[in-house]
């Protein structure tokens, strides 16, 4: 049975808890960042009746537990360092996104992964929601023809954020944290690589959250002259009926497909009006990651996906920081 450790409780450790099955056992957990609060993770483990050992220090934990897989979701600014360290230890790594928060760290991480021969994936788990799986299937089946234009949206309630969100060094920025999901959808659904990005962001009206950007937009160009806008905000009213308002509209030569309010809406060239597509069942990203580790399958979010989307998000952040159009090399 595979041995799993969780480092940190600041991200989507729930993907791990939901994906654990008889092939893998959680053996230990520890904070991954200075002063990280892992109280919610601890409570979630208790709720799920998962009996794992708590460690004060992740390095000690890895030394003692000798896990096969480590899931990393500490303060986002530490993801890169811990990912690199874990790969060098010969562990399979399931990382919260962004998988690094500087381009230099990302380059080191890519090299560490290439040298390791180990599995690596990132928590782009929204792909596995029925509405996104269904959108992907419809696009790949050619139901909208050749993609020409995409508009993606992430909108979150701000609520009360942990203190580490207020500092770029520990948080990494809103484009990499919130926006990278939408950056991932754009690349995954189009099947094209990024060519250039111009982005903008603002910290105004951030409710005293320091350097946290509450609004941002990115304009990507991909292969085949596909354009893709990504809109990001933390301004969804507290009164709204869900935490997030994830959307994408994909315009192709033979139709238009939208994901909105968990529906998949299609206008194609054959059928009058708007069709609401029947949805494929949800899947588990961590369960797929176990498949990949065991060699019995592939995780839909590959290491290359994780690296390319992180690079795109970091270049978008740099574009916004410098107010400059940036090309991908």
Residues 6 or more apart whose CB falls under 8 angstroms from that of 93 comprise 69, 70, 71, 72, 83, 86, 87, 118, 119, 120, 121
Residue with Cβ nearer a second copy (158 or 309): 158
Q: Which stretch binds a second copy (CB under 8 A): 56-64, 108-116, 225-233, 297-305?
A: 225-233
- Tell which one of 39, 272, 281, 295 touches a second copy (CB under 8 A): 272
Q: Which stretch binds a second copy (CB under 8 A): 81-89, 133-141, 216-224, 288-296?
A: 216-224
Interface with a second copy includes 263 (CB under 8 A)? no
Residue with Cβ nearer a second copy (23 or 161): 161
Q: Which stretch binds a second copy (CB under 8 A): 31-39, 43-51, 177-185, 264-272?
A: 264-272
Q: For the CB of residue 10, give the shortest distance to a second copy in the complex, in Å.
A: 26
Q: For the CB of residue 149, give the shortest distance to a second copy in the complex, in Å.
A: 4
Tokens of 202: 């603002």
Q: For the CB of residue 162, give the shortest distance to a second copy in the complex, in Å.
A: 22
Tokens of 250: 């994909």
CA quadruple 314, 316, 317, 321: dihedral positive or negative? positive
Give whole-number Cα distances, 37 to 27, 57, 86, in Å. 19, 13, 21
Interface with a second copy includes 328 (CB under 8 A)? no
Interface with a second copy includes 21 (CB under 8 A)? no
Interface with a second copy includes 265 (CB under 8 A)? no
**Cβ pair 286, 294 in contact under 8 A:** no
DSSP H helices, the chain, are: 14-19, 39-47, 58-65, 79-88, 103-116, 130-140, 168-171, 174, 180-190, 285-294, 303-322
Q: Which stretch binds a second copy (CB under 8 A): 31-39, 277-285, 301-309, 317-325?
A: 317-325
Cα 9 from Cα 59, distance rounded (Å): 16
Interface with a second copy includes 256 (CB under 8 A)? yes
Q: Are strands 2-7 and 69-72 parallel, antiparallel or unpaired?
A: parallel
- Tell which one of 3, 129, 161, 236 touches a second copy (CB under 8 A): 236
What are the phi and psi torsion angles at 225 (to 5°)?
60, 30
Cα 295 from Cα 55, distance rounded (Å): 30
Interface with a second copy includes 276 (CB under 8 A)? no
Give whole-number Cα distances, 280 to 101, 127, 133, 181, in Å. 33, 12, 7, 20
Residue with Cβ nearer a second copy (167 or 219): 219
Q: Which stretch binds a second copy (CB under 8 A): 59-67, 112-120, 122-130, 200-208?
A: 200-208
Name residues contacting a second copy, limited to 106-165 (CB under 8 A). Answer: 146, 148-149, 151, 153, 155
Interface with a second copy includes 204 (CB under 8 A)? yes
Interface with a second copy includes 270 (CB under 8 A)? yes
3-state secondary structure of 266: strand
Tokens of 307: 């690296």
Interface with a second copy includes 324 (CB under 8 A)? yes
Residue with Cβ nearer a second copy (107 or 240): 240
Binding site residues, a second copy, CB under 8 A: 146, 148-149, 151, 153, 155, 196, 198-202, 204-205, 214-219, 221, 224-229, 231, 233, 235-241, 249, 251-256, 267-274, 323-325
């Amino acid at each position: 049975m595979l041995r799993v450790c969780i480092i940190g409780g600041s991200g989507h450790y729930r993907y791990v808890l939901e994906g654990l099955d008889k092939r893998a056992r959680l053996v230990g957990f520890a904070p991954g960042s200075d002063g990280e609060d892992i109280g919610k993770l601890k409570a979630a483990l208790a709720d799920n009746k998962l009996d794992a050992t708590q460690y004060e220090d992740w390095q000690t934990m890895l030394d003692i537990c000798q896990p096969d897989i480590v899931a990393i979701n500490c303060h986002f600014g530490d993801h890169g360092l811990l990912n690199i360290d874990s790969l060098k230890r010969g562990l399979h790594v399931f990382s919260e996104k962004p998988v690094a928060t500087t381009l230099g760290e990302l380059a080191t991480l890519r090299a560490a992964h290439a040298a390791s021969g180990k599995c690596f994936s990132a928590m782009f788990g929204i792909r596995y929601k029925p509405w996104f799986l269904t959108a992907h299937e419809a696009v790949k089946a050619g139901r909208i023809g050749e993609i020409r234009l995409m508009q993606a949206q992430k909108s979150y309630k701000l609520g009360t954020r942990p203190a580490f969100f207020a500092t770029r060094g520990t948080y990494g920025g809103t484009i990499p944290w919130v926006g990278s999901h939408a950056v991932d959808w754009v690349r995954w659904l189009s099947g094209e690589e990024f060519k250039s990005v111009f982005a903008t962001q603002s910290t105004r009206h951030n409710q005293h959250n320091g350097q946290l950007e509450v609004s941002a937009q990115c304009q990507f160009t991909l292969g085949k002259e596909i354009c893709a806008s990504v809109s990001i905000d933390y301004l969804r009213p507290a009164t709204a009926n869900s935490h997030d308002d994830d959307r994408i509209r994909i315009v192709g030569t033979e139709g238009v497909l939208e994901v909105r309010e968990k529906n998949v809406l299609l206008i194609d060239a054959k059928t009058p009006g708007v069709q609401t597509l029947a949805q494929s069942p949800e899947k588990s990203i961590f369960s797929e990651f176990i498949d990949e580790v065991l060699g019995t399958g592939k995780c839909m979010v590959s290491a290359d996906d994780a690296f390319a989307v992180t690079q795109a998000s970091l270049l978008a952040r740099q574009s916004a920081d410098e107010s400059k159009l940036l090309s991908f090399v």
